[in-house]
Amino acid sequence: EAAEEQMKQPEKIPEKPELERTKQAQSEESLAKTVEKAIEEYKWAIIVIAALLILAAALSYAARGKWLPRLWLLYFRNGKDSGRMEEAYDVLLKQLARYGITRKPGQTLRDYSRYIDEYFETSDMSRLTRDYERVIYNQEEADAHWKKSKPLWEKMMRKTIT
Name the percent of the chain lying above pLDDT 70: 80
* Predicted pLDDT of residue 156: 94
* Predicted pLDDT of residue 117: 96
- Mean pLDDT computed over 71-82: 78
Please state, in angstroms and rounded to a whole number, the distance separating the CA atoms of residues 124 and 97.
Answer: 17
- Mean pLDDT computed over 83-89: 86
At residue 3, does pLDDT exceed 70? no
pTM summary value: 0.65
Task: Yes or no: say if 161 and 74 are a contact pair by the CB < 8 Å rule.
Answer: no
* pLDDT band of 152, cuts 50, 70, 90: very high
Tally of CB atoms within 10 A around 32: 10
Q: What is the dihedral angle through the alpha carbons of 73, 75, 80, 85, rounded to the nearest 10 degrees?
A: -60
- Mean pLDDT computed over 26-42: 82
* Predicted pLDDT of residue 118: 96
